[in-house]
Structures are given as structure tokens and as C-alpha cells.
Amino acid sequence: MIILAHESSCDETSAAVIEYDGEKFNIRSNIVASQIETHALYGGVVPEIASRAHIEAISQITYEALETAGVSLSDIDLVAVTANPGLIGALLVGVNFSKALAVANKIPLVAVDHIKGHIAAAYLTEDKPKPPFIALTASGGHTSIYLVEDYNDIKEIGSTRDDAIGESFDKIGRLLGIPYPAGKGFDALAKEGFIKATGDEVRYYSLYKKSAAYKDAAMALPSPALNDGTLDFSFSGLKTAAINLLHRFEQRGEELDHALFAAKYTFEVTEAVAKKIKAALDLYPDADLAISGGVAANSHLRARLSEVAKEKKRNIFIPPISLCGDNAAMIGAAGYFEYLDGNFADGSLNASAEDSLRKI
């Protein structure tokens, strides 16, 4: 079965050809045209610019995806497209393109929820999770914990009540002078800070809690893990505290060590996620763990959650960094399961900004 997939929900236009051989998925091509450089000028995604850039890129990257995969449209058995959630104008470009292509070539079409796509990134690796598993999706727009009971039976069991985790790295990173999107630079700066605080180039994360930098009251920050018995987060309190802290240093004319600050901020975020993931694994003792989304590229989070999984004696599935961010291959994998359940779309398919996964 050969699937052509499209993704255009935010600031990457992507087309991919993936194949399911009865046992596993093979990525034949996964072309991603990123608009990051354009949006970096504005410090964030400008929806109108994103829509236009998707329109300009989508035909070309579809040709590239087919050519790289060595297939033509007549070989395609299924077209999958992200239909929600995301920027509505951006989503419409992918939806209309895929719809036209599927209808004109009489190829079955499935609509994919972007978050289901992120979760499905884990299915594209050699060693893939089998439901039931706990999935963390951590990206620029989302921070949620899901119980994946079956491929299409996914319930949200925890989420952020305000800002998303990636958005929080991007906003605070911007104040530290890290270019948008700040996640990757923040990751590196935090590593520098952890090493500086502990003097250890290998065990820096686990030693950090004992360091003077962690205990420094001038650098105190609240945890984004809500202390109310839920699996929910709140990043807005952390953001405000971090902004106030930066202002305080500025007003006093004191120099803040950016690396130590990035380490402290990253530690609070990572520990909060680790705490909620531990609680989720305790609630579902048969479930393994999979993580996905752009923030799943964070080296500290990857290492810490691997440790949590080991401690709880569960398997952890972490996609390679190339599949953590937005890409169409993950949409194709999620689309395969929509196809198996007979969830076909037709010419009436529309894009929507709404999340389709239920919260319990």
C-alpha cells in the first residue's frame, strides 16, 4: 500500500510517500519545505504569510516527493492530509490540494488530525509502540498527554491550561536573544549551563539539583506541573516569573548568566513533564511511552523521560529528530489507520482549527 501525504497546518509544507508492507512502514520520501527563515523576521508565525508560502511550495514538493520515492500518481493507493487542528488558512492549502488530487485521480482520501499524526511518528521507526501506550505530544502549539488505547481510540488525559511548552521555550528564548524558533538554541544553552553548574560533562543533569545554581534564590522559578492531582500543566506562571526575573536583574544592573538561567528554566520544565508522565504511567500499568512533537527533540527531555521509562520498567519510543517536527510522513502513517477503519473523506472535506481528540 502506497500513501501520498500532505501536511500544511503551520509553517512547514510537507509531502511524503510512505509504504506499508504489511508489517512496517517504509518512508520512500519525506520532503519538508520550512518557512522558518521568513517567520523568524517577525519572531513568530504570521498566518497570512504561511498560507501564501504553502500555496507557492505545495505543487513543487509533491513532485519532489513522488520523484524521490520513484513513483507516479497511478501508483498511489491512498491520499492523506492534515485537516485539523492548525492555522485555518494554512490547513486549507493542503486540504484543497489533496482533495483535488484525490478526486481527479480517483484515489481514496483520508483526513488526519495533526496530533494523531505526531503520535503516529512513532510508528515509522523500526521498533514501534503497540497500544495501549501513553503518548506525550510536545510542540509549539500543543502540550498533551494521551492514552492511546487503540490506533484510533485516543483520549487526552492531561494538557496545558494555557501556553504550550514549545511556545514557552520560544518566548523566553527570544528574551535571551535566541532566534526563532528558540527551542534548539535553548537546548544547547541549557546544556552549557548544566555543565557550568556541575562541572561534569556527562552526568550534568542528574547532578544539577545539588548545584549552587539550582539552589540560588535569585533564580527561583515555579514548576509548570499543576499540583492538583491532574495530569495538567500551566506554563503561563512560569513565563511571568521568568520575565519578572529577567526584569529584576536588568533593573538592578546585574548581569544574568544566560546559560545558568536556561538550565534552571529547562530543569523546571523537564521535571514537570517527568512528574506528570510518571503519574500517567502509574495510572496505566500496562502502557509503554512514546514521545513526539518538535519539543521531543529536546535532548534533556529525551534523556530524562528515558530514565523515567526505565524506572517504571516500560519501553520508550522516541522518533528521530527528523520525524519530531511537522512532516507529512507521520500524517501518512496516521492516515493508514483511518483507512483501516474506513474513515474516508470526500469532496466535501473542509479544514478545521479544532482538536478532534477527546479529553477525559
Q: Is 10 in the site for ligand KG4 (CB under 6 A)?
A: yes
Q: Is 183 in the site for ligand KG4 (CB under 6 A)?
A: yes
Pairing between β-strand 2-7 and β-strand 78-84 as defined by DSSP bridges: parallel
What is the Cα–Cα distance from 130 to 289, expressed in whole angstroms?
A: 10
Q: 166 is in the binding site of which of Zn ion, ligand KG4, none (Cβ under 5 to 8 A by kind)?
A: ligand KG4
Q: 335 is in the binding site of which of ligand KG4, Zn ion, none (Cβ under 5 to 8 A by kind)?
A: none
* 8-22 per-residue burial string, b: 16 or more CB within 10 A, e: under 16: bbbbbbbbbbbbbee
Reading the block at residue 271, the C-alpha cell is 521535571
Q: 169 is in the binding site of which of ligand KG4, Zn ion, none (Cβ under 5 to 8 A by kind)?
A: ligand KG4
In SS3 terms, the chain reads as CEEEEEECCCCEEEEEEEEECCCCEEEEEEEEEECHHHHHCCCCCCHHHHHHHHHHHHHHHHHHHHHHHCCCHHHCCEEEEEEECCCHHHHHHHHHHHHHHHHHCCCCEEEEEHHHHHHHHHHHCCCCCCCCEEEEEECCCCEEEEEEEECCEEEEEEEECCCCHHHHHHHHHHHCCCCCCCHHHHHHHHHHHHHHHHCCCCCHHHHHCCCHHHHCHHHCCCCCECCCCCCCECCHHHHHHHHHHHHHHHHCCCCCCHHHHHHHHHHHHHHHHHHHHHHHHHHCCCCEEEEECHHHHCHHHHHHHHHHHHHCCCCEECCCHHHHCCCHHHHHHHHHHHHHCCCCECCCCCCCCCCCCEEC
The tally of CA atoms less than 13 A away on the side-chain side of residue 354 is 5
Q: Give residues 271-310 in contact with ligand KG4 (rule: CB under 6 A).
A: 293-295, 297-298
Q: 187 is in the binding site of which of Zn ion, ligand KG4, none (Cβ under 5 to 8 A by kind)?
A: ligand KG4
Q: 87 is in the binding site of which of Zn ion, ligand KG4, none (Cβ under 5 to 8 A by kind)?
A: none
Nearer to ligand KG4 (CB atom), residue 86 or residue 129: 86
List the one residue from 139, 160, 168, 266 that touches Zn ion (CB under 5 A). Answer: 139
Nearer to ligand KG4 (CB atom), residue 16 or residue 101: 16
Count residues contacting Zn ion (CB under 5 A)? 2
Smallest distance, ligand KG4 to C-beta of residue 107, A: 26
Q: Is 328 in the site for ligand KG4 (CB under 6 A)?
A: no
Smallest distance, Zn ion to C-beta of residue 334, A: 12
Pairing between β-strand 109-113 and β-strand 288-292 as defined by DSSP bridges: unpaired
8 A C-beta contact, residue 120 and residue 338: no
Smallest distance, Zn ion to C-beta of residue 73, A: 27
Nearer to ligand KG4 (CB atom), residue 259 or residue 297: 297
Count residues contacting ligand KG4 (CB under 6 A)? 20
List the one residue from 117, 141, 224, 335 that touches ligand KG4 (CB under 6 A). Answer: 141
Nearer to ligand KG4 (CB atom), residue 129 or residue 293: 293
Q: 158 is in the binding site of which of ligand KG4, Zn ion, none (Cβ under 5 to 8 A by kind)?
A: none
Stretch that binds ligand KG4, among 57-65, 99-107, 136-144, 329-337 (CB under 6 A): 136-144
Nearer to Zn ion (CB atom), residue 268 or residue 326: 326
Q: Is 140 in the site for ligand KG4 (CB under 6 A)?
A: yes
Q: Give residues 204-233 in contact with ligand KG4 (rule: CB under 6 A).
A: none
Smallest distance, ligand KG4 to C-beta of residue 137, A: 8
List the one residue from 166, 193, 332, 335 that touches ligand KG4 (CB under 6 A). Answer: 166
Pairing between β-strand 153-159 and β-strand 143-150 as defined by DSSP bridges: antiparallel
Q: Is 326 in the site for Zn ion (CB under 5 A)?
A: yes
Nearer to ligand KG4 (CB atom), residue 128 or residue 184: 184
Which parts of this chain interact with ligand KG4 (CB under 6 A)? 10, 139-141, 166, 169-170, 181-184, 186-187, 293-295, 297-298, 325-326
Which parts of this chain interact with Zn ion (CB under 5 A)? 139, 326
